[in-house]
Structure 1
């Protein structure tokens, strides 16, 4: 089985702390191989919603952090999806930067799927991302952290 044709629009948040670390979540990929990868908080843009509104909503749902304004989109990523259980074969993500002094992760807004798919979470430095053998997305993430970290 291969991913079904279609484009998924999403919003992702580079959640940065004062030490210049980015908060990532280890999630299961939509793959029969059991793959996982570290990704930023974020998710799909709902019908009638723009990327900015989706970023604010997804940040609240996935972390419990409430912001009214995620600022402007700072980077876009267009990519092909090759996982065999994905419901789309192409993606377009808009990235936003939100800074926080730290927080207690809340799963109160997680969907049932997120409760299964989110395996772990932690803060990463750009150098740690450069050195790790763990998969993460996008590949440009260390450069983005360096570009936007304090």
Structure 2
């Protein structure tokens, strides 16, 4: 007997860096607590870039006009629960650079279950014992900072 494949949920996420090459992560309490890059699922008719900009505005109050998306850095596929239902989420990660002062959580229209936001240095990211998604984010950032965006998006583990 085979298990049916969960329904597809396409998502767009931002790897947000500031002028000091710190990465912005959001804290969630569910599933034992974890940190993740900003982003979420695509709405009907939306492409990944548009969804990324919308999510930054909804989750962090970042004005869409202040954000210029860079290259797609990576993608990831993982099965997990969303609203109590298992889905196969396929995520595309886009690079963007903003000023830390552009983040305005009080202006967020849909902060979801975000408990806090924090800027992480690469050293802090490598040293943490907390769960951070996507897995291998520190490795991805090391490559991007040393060599620029990849020619083809990296495939990250689920």
What's the TM-score bracket when you normalise by the shorter of the two chains? Answer: 0.7 to 0.9
The alpha carbon displacement at 1:47 in A equals 0.9
Aligned length: 139
Deviation at 1:129, TM superposition (A): 1.5
Per the normalisation by structure 2, the TM-score is 0.77
| Correspondence for 2:151 | none
**TM norm structure 1:** 0.80
Uncovered stretches (5+) of structure 2, i.e. residues with no partner: 147-158
Partner of 2:127: 131
Q: What SS class does the counterpart of residue 100 from structure 2 fall into?
A: coil
Note the C-alpha offset of 1:141.
0.7
Q: Pick from 133, 136, 140: which aligns with 1:140?
A: 136
Point out the structure with the larger strand share: 2
- Higher relative contact order structure (alpha carbons within 8 Å, sequence separation ≥ 6): 1
Aligned twin of 1:122:
118
**Superposition deviation, residue 24 in structure 1:** 0.4
Contact 2:57/2:108 (<8 A) preserved: yes
Query: Measured at CA, do residues 66 and 149 of structure 1 come closer, stay the same or move farther in structure 2, by a change above 3 Å?
Result: farther
